[in-house]
Amino acid sequence: MSAGRQPRSIVILGGGTAGWMAANLFQHHWGKLGTRVTLIESSDIGIIGVGEGSTPQLKHFFDTLGIAEGEWMPRCSATYKTGIEFLGWSERPGHGSYFHPFPTAVDSFTAPQFFYNTRARRTGRDVWAHPDRFFLPTALAHQCRAPLAPPNFPFLTSYGYHFDAHLLGAFLREVATRRGVEHVDANIASVAVGANAEIEALVADDGRRFEADLFVDASGFRAVIIEGALGEPHRGFGENLFNDRAVVTPTPLPAEAPGVCTRATAKSAGWIWHIPLTNRVGNGYVYSSRYTDPDAAADELRAHLGLPAGAEVRHLQMRVGRVERSWVGNCLAIGLAQGFLEPLEATALHIVLATVESFIKAVDADGQSPEAHDAFNDRIARRYEGIRDYIVCHYRAALRSDTDYWRDATGHDELSDSLKDIFTAWFTGGDVAEEFARQDIGGYYSALSWHCMLAGYGNFPDDGRIRPPGDDIEIFDMDEVDRFIHGCALNFPAHQSALNLLKEAA
Ligand SMILES: Cc1cc2nc3c(=O)[nH]c(=O)nc-3n(C[C@H](O)[C@H](O)[C@H](O)COP(=O)(O)OP(=O)(O)OC[C@H]3O[C@@H](n4cnc5c(N)ncnc54)[C@H](O)[C@@H]3O)c2cc1C
């Protein structure tokens, strides 16, 4: 790292998961070089307190900080996550559910067969093309096993976690303050902006003034600095991501061990998440206020969970979109202040991590030049758009048409050129993997993820147009695939035993 490029002082506004993740990363990378990191949060305002599922990148975050699973998981009621099970997104027979796996090295043996079969079926050949029999994480989820490869089966796995957002925030605060981050409880009432649109200070309602070289806006949907003080425009994604509200409630843990996947069940105007923790289940109905109202959504959630009428729920509003630029002058926006892509793939913390790491790299490499700003903002914008395309595809490619919500979500034409090209390749029997490579979008979601979604819904010719495979098609023995995946899964520990071991070691 080139010395001297990093800011001497950083003030982070916001003590939600985003703020504390950033505080830890800045302290880790720049604390030793003399940067002072201060985090300000308001105990009067509090945090949003949802956001309990992650992508595999959260493991990278803890690895970077040198924090073992035994140290943080039991403290945060955390469980392992091998992927997401989607239920009810397709009315096509045989496609009532499918699993989006976080990839493991074992899957590289069966992925070519899956790709081959999906392409053959897209051209009307009768071969097995539902993803669920092909991949190890799906089997681990169905058998409730932790994705921890034992020494006698040394295949790499990638996995995410489920966790209690409040406990994770408290844990990250403890680590950060122990490592030298200053923590201040204050209500920021105004932001002092200099003539050149640089932030000079945050000013608390009791008159305290906080100055720094760099200000990080992690103030949640309020976006106090980036939008409130700097007026950076917000670009809404409502034209093709309709959901703007959520209603949430926890339920007690069922008698069996907590599962190792998130479940996303499609409902009349959105979808309901099921996130198993070690002490409770997190549930939430993410819906569009254009198609249902809060009372009806709450009733639909209660009915889904078997709760009595009037059982307590919490309502949340979501602002889906992103600020045009995340890095403006001496302000970096992260977390909900930066943008939000609805929680379907649990990508928010992943973007926080990518933003802060990319920012640190940019500053280390190029200081704070206008070119560094532009390249960084362009990178972040592309990441949002890439992930957005993947989430939009979940709705647009779904095969459900029982309500106005689903008819509109599956019938609109608000698609990026990139997504249009993917659909064209898929529905014309083309090489989708080649299309992903051409577009260079593999960094956001892999070809495997896209294939699982499109095939999982059953986006193939109608059954009436499916014909026997013919001599030109290679036939894979699916019983052999089942035996292989099942045999591999047997090497992995039961989820509950793995959680018990972590607890004992803590
Ligand atoms: C319904 C829903 C489900 C979600 N599910 C997931 C998921 O599964 N996975 C995932 O990764 N993400 C998910 N998210 C997103 C996730 O909740 C957030 O990314 C995460 O919690 C980080 O939020 P934050 O830190 O940006 O904001 P917040 O938690 O809202 O924190 C904002 C902070 O700013 C402080 N603050 C604000 N204004 C002031 C002020 N004037 N003075 C002082 N302090 C101030 C507050 O006190 C607070 O500390 C979900 C979001 C929603 C809405």
Q: How far is the CA of 99 from the centre of ligand 1 (A)?
A: 28
- Burial of 116 per CB tally in 10 Å (0-12, 13-18, 19+): middle
Name the residue at shortest CA distance from atom 37 of ligand 1: 219
Q: Which fold has domain 9-52+164-237+323-368?
A: FAD/NAD(P)-binding domain (3.50.50)
Rounded mean pLDDT of 248-253? 96
Q: Which amino acid appears at position 251 of this protein?
A: T
Name the residue at shortest CA distance from atom 7 of ligand 1: 51
Q: Is the pLDDT of residue 354 over 80?
A: yes
d(CA 136, CA 120): 22
Question: Sorting pLDDT into bands at 50, 70 and 90, what band is 1?
Answer: very low
pLDDT at 30: 97
d(CA 263, CA 85): 5
Containing 173, the helix (H) or strand (E) segment is helix 165-178
Task: Tell whether ligand 1 has an atom less than 6 A from the beta carbon of residue 50.
Answer: yes
Task: Tell whether ligand 1 has an atom less than 6 A from the beta carbon of residue 184.
Answer: no
The fraction of the chain above a pLDDT of 70, given in percent, is 99
- DSSP codes, 206-217: TS-EEE-SEEEE
Structure tokens at 247: 């209603």
410: how many CB neighbours lie within 10 A of its CB?
A: 16
For 261, residues 6+ apart whose C-beta sits below 8 A from its C-beta are 81, 82, 83, 84, 85, 99, 137, 141
Q: Is the pLDDT of residue 87 over 80?
A: yes
Q: Is the pLDDT of residue 423 over 50?
A: yes
The fraction of the chain above a pLDDT of 90, given in percent, is 91
Domain boundaries, the chain: 9-52+164-237+323-368, 93-156+387-489, 245-317
Q: How far is the CA of 219 from the centre of ligand 1 (A)?
A: 7
For 506, residues 6+ apart whose C-beta sits below 8 A from its C-beta are 70, 71, 74, 75
pLDDT at 5: 84
- Assess whether 81 carries a catalytic annotation: yes
Between residues 436 and 159, the one the model is more confident about: 159
Residue to probe by mutation, ligand 1, list 12, 38, 41, most atoms within 8 Å of CB: 41
Q: Of 79, 62, 68, nearest to 494 (Cα)?
A: 79
Residue to probe by mutation, ligand 1, list 61, 164, 221, 336, most atoms within 8 Å of CB: 336
Please state, in angstroms and as integers, the Cα–Cα distance from residue 491 to each residue in 83, 157, 212, following that order. Answer: 18, 13, 52
Q: Which of 32, 59, 81, 267 is catalytic?
A: 81
Task: Tell whether ligand 1 has an atom less than 6 A from the beta carbon of residue 345.
Answer: no
pLDDT at 163: 98
* Contact in structure between 38 and 12 (CB atoms under 8 Å): yes
